[in-house]
Structure 1
């Protein structure tokens, strides 16, 4: 069978540029994103693929006083109660996955000036998750619990599409499992029904490009590390 000759289209180049430029934003400006811009992002994200087109995702999105109230309540909550996520966290990071996780953390700590072994400083940086990194908005992504793991997988595709759509509008984002680790608080605070699984949060807004936390970029594994070619 002859292979179709490879061509690089304008769409492919644009998509590659978008992926290359997108990164997890860990410091935001206080400026709100216009509702019309958020709606455009959501309309694009709604095109995410899902099993049988079930589209199991639902979101709660905060702005203004609602964001500040959520931020304040979350920060108070995490200092007194233990994590209780709806979705079990990884049993362990091992091998190359542990190496990549450590490399990412080391890059962040180097960027913001956290010295190795400084637990107080690293804890302070970790708490930035619950301050939403100063973002003016947060989206809480939930799935229908009856759909089980595959509904959650569909939400993962939605989150990726949301992040890329936001980047195309110049809006910074960070997907945060940390917010889902306190699901009981999130559910109660935002009035989310018990039959919805809290998958993650997405803090978003306009990037503070001068902040040290936004100065590093993570690497990606080469294809031979992730693909087993068969012919």
Structure 2
């Protein structure tokens, strides 16, 4: 049997990784989390500034945070993101967003007009989908947009590294909607911007949400070649 090339291995990880929305409760061993973090630490950044500052929550600390965050979001707290959310999704971006939402709801048996069901599912973001671990990705405000861009590269590498070790994950912008609350809970300084959270752990194969997959647009919708 032939050994997969490095490109084939990477492509397999890219295709296999998915946004996990149902986790088993058992924790990931610390040595595995450390290895994931060591791999993600190799992420490229502008001037090698390495602007990501990561808070890892687990155990009792995570349970306190989970309960507080869910209660905060469930009471209708106004969003306070550090990095502005999209003003509007238009055209194909709106279509892709709608397709993803409706596809997930269908997999979970939530009708399009079931607003209560959709709200319940949205609030699962703040239960972290039952994950036993959470990474909070932050960066210093002074580093501006490109600090956050570099953090995005770290997020992608973290999730691929996790997948390579059998650990599922989901990047969560929803947590960043409550950046001020998160900072207060963790005692973070005011100049630390919250980029996103990443819930991670072992996937629950029986959770219906974990059978849902999103597609990707073809290169013709994303790439323009300039040769002449």
Report the TM range for the smaller structure's normalisation.
over 0.9
Match in the other structure for 2:209: 213
Distance 2:170 2:161 in 1: 13
2:199 alignment partner, SS class: strand
Deviation track 1:110-153 (CA, whole Å, cap 9, x = no partner) reads 11110011000000000000000000011100011111000000
Structure 2 residue 199 is matched with structure 1 residue 203? yes
2:23 alignment partner, SS class: coil
Query: Which one of the candidate residues 51, 56, 61 is aligned to 2:51?
Result: 56
**When the two structures are aligned, how many residues end up with a matched partner?**
223
2:209 alignment partner, SS class: helix
Structure 2 residue 178 is matched with structure 1 residue 194? no
The CA deviation at 1:94 is 0.5
Query: Which one of the candidate residues 31, 39, 54 is aligned to 1:36?
Result: 31
Structure 2 residue 166 is matched with structure 1 residue 170? yes
Distance 2:74 2:107 in 1: 25
Distance 1:122 1:44 in 2: 36
Match in the other structure for 1:134: 130
Match in the other structure for 2:117: 121
Distance 1:12 1:97 in 2: 29
Query: Which one of the candidate residues 80, 83, 87 is aligned to 1:87?
Result: 83
Match in the other structure for 1:112: 108
Distance 1:61 1:230 in 2: 43
Query: Which one of the candidate residues 145, 153, 159 is aligned to 2:141?
Result: 145
The CA deviation at 1:79 is 2.5
1:3-42, aligned counterparts within 5 Å? 10-42=5-37
Distance 2:93 2:16 in 1: 23
2:194 alignment partner, SS class: strand
The CA deviation at 1:191 is 1.2
Distance 2:55 2:65 in 1: 12
**Structure 1: unaligned runs, 5 residues or longer:** 1-8
**Structure 2: unaligned runs, 5 residues or longer:** none
Distance 2:103 2:205 in 1: 17
| Structure 1 outlier segments of 4+, above 4 Å | none
Structure 2 residue 95 is matched with structure 1 residue 103? no
Distance 1:74 1:226 in 2: 36
The CA deviation at 1:216 is 1.4
1:208 alignment partner, SS class: coil
Distance 1:76 1:90 in 2: 25
TM normalised by structure 2 equals 0.96
